[in-house]
Amino acid sequence: MSPPPVSISVVLPMYNEEKNAENAVKSLNRVLSDSFDDYEILVVESGSTDLTRDIADSLADSNPAVRVIHQINREGLGSAIRLGFANARKDFILYIDSDEPFDVEEIARVIPMLDPRTALIGYRIGERESFKRKLFSRVYNTLVQLVFRLGVRDVNFSMKLIPRTHLQKLDLRANGCFYDAELLAELKRAGIPVTEIGFAYNQRQYGMSSLDRLPVILNILREMLVYLLRRKRRVTP
Ligand SMILES: Nc1nc2c(ncn2[C@@H]2O[C@H](COP(=O)(O)OP(=O)(O)OP(=O)(O)O)[C@@H](O)[C@H]2O)c(=O)[nH]1
Ligand SMILES: [Mg+2]
């Protein structure tokens, strides 16, 4: 199949991913180089305390399609992804996690679906690893669904692909983990159609979740409230 006549930027957020960084970048590079003439991998690394920073730099040194942005301090996943979005230069912008929650080869399946009018978002096929994660995911998805009426299966799955022209219409400000819900709520507000695609879920193999913490969850609720107030102000004449 000949490559599509479009380009893609993939944003990979990284915090303390020394065991995943190289594999994530290399496997992504394999898929993208097979499928696109024009692509970039944009690693956003923030305040890692392990070797992630150096590994990311050396991956960029050895491959011109890889760029790295460092945030000196860890300022939240939403802030890192926004920084990636702001620096992405291609027609379509995709973000995925660096611990590969699905097989990146699967990205090839998405390519025939690329459409400048539509955002593509992934949902998890398969169970989360623990009762606690399952419960949190269920409660959070239900809450966001009730508040924003998004009509999607999985709010937080880290595969979201947005045409650049649409991304520019979104008012994204969440610095923490509310960013996924904010992105979907903004897509809805802007009237941008969303197509969902299922991915078989792989549990993290190396390293630890950096987001599975009570303060992170409380911050999501705070950011949701801030967003709701902002929306209210925006629609009030
Ligand atoms: N740049 C940046 N990346 C982050 C930050 N926090 C988390 N990440 C990355 O964001 C992605 C998601 O974080 P995870 O720790 O995997 O969160 P999770 O998927 O809920 O947890 P697991 O299910 O255990 O994998 C990973 O690629 C992390 O390296 C941050 O503050 N800055
Ligand atoms: Mg993860």
- Residue 164 sits in a domain of what CATH number? 3.90.550.10
Task: Tell me how far apart the alpha carbons of residues 84 and 172 are, in angstroms, rounded to a whole number.
Answer: 12
Ligand of minimum distance to the alpha carbon of 140: 1
Q: What angle do CA 146, 188, 71 make, to 5 degrees?
A: 95
Cα–Cα distance list, 184 to 19, 44, 157, 165, 171 (Å) = 30, 21, 11, 16, 11
Q: Which of 201, 34, 44, 183 is nearest to 124 (CA)?
A: 201
Number of domains making up the chain: 1
Classify residue 228: in a domain, yes or no: yes
Determine the distance separating the centroid of ligand 2 and the alpha carbon of 5, expressed in angstroms.
31
Two structure tokens written together for 180: 């996924």
Determine the distance separating the centroid of ligand 2 and the alpha carbon of 208, expressed in angstroms.
8
Classify residue 120: in a domain, yes or no: yes
Quick check: 135 and 212 in contact, CB under 8 A? no
- Cβ neighbors of 46 (< 8 A, separation 6 or more) are 13, 14, 15, 70, 71, 73, 74, 75, 79, 80
Residue 151 — left, alpha, or beta (φ > 0 → left; ψ -120 to 50 → alpha)?
Answer: left
Classify residue 213: in a domain, yes or no: yes
Task: Tell me how far apart the alpha carbons of residues 200 and 180 are, in angstroms, rounded to a whole number.
Answer: 19
Mutation test residue for ligand 1: of 85, 211, 213, 214, the one with most atoms within 8 Å of CB: 211
Question: What pTM, to 2 d.p., does this model score?
Answer: 0.94
- Ligand 1, residues at Cβ distance < 6 Å: 13-15, 17, 44-46, 74, 76-77, 80, 97-99, 204, 209-212
Q: What is the pLDDT of residue 16?
A: 97
Determine the distance separating the centroid of ligand 2 and the alpha carbon of 232, expressed in angstroms.
32
Q: What is the pLDDT of residue 132?
A: 81
DSSP code at position 19: T
Domain holding 79, by residue range, is: 7-235
Classify residue 103: in a domain, yes or no: yes
Mutation test residue for ligand 1: of 11, 12, 14, 160, the one with most atoms within 8 Å of CB: 14
Count CA atoms within 13 Å of residue 113 on its CB side: 17
Quick check: 88 and 11 in contact, CB under 8 A? yes
Q: Indicate which residue's Cα is closest to atom 6 of ligand 1.
A: 77
Ligand 1 nearest-atom number relative to CA 128 = 23
Q: Indicate which residue's Cα is closest to atom 29 of ligand 1.
A: 14
List of the chain residues with pLDDT < 70 = 1-3, 210-211, 235-237
Determine the distance separating the centroid of ligand 2 and the alpha carbon of 118, expressed in angstroms.
25
Q: Is the dihedral of CA 85, 88, 93, 97 positive or negative?
A: negative
Classify residue 1: in a domain, yes or no: no
Determine the distance separating the centroid of ligand 1 and the alpha carbon of 174, expressed in angstroms.
15
Determine the distance separating the centroid of ligand 1 and the alpha carbon of 77, expressed in angstroms.
7
Classify residue 46: in a domain, yes or no: yes
Q: Is the dihedral of CA 181, 183, 186, 191 positive or negative?
A: negative
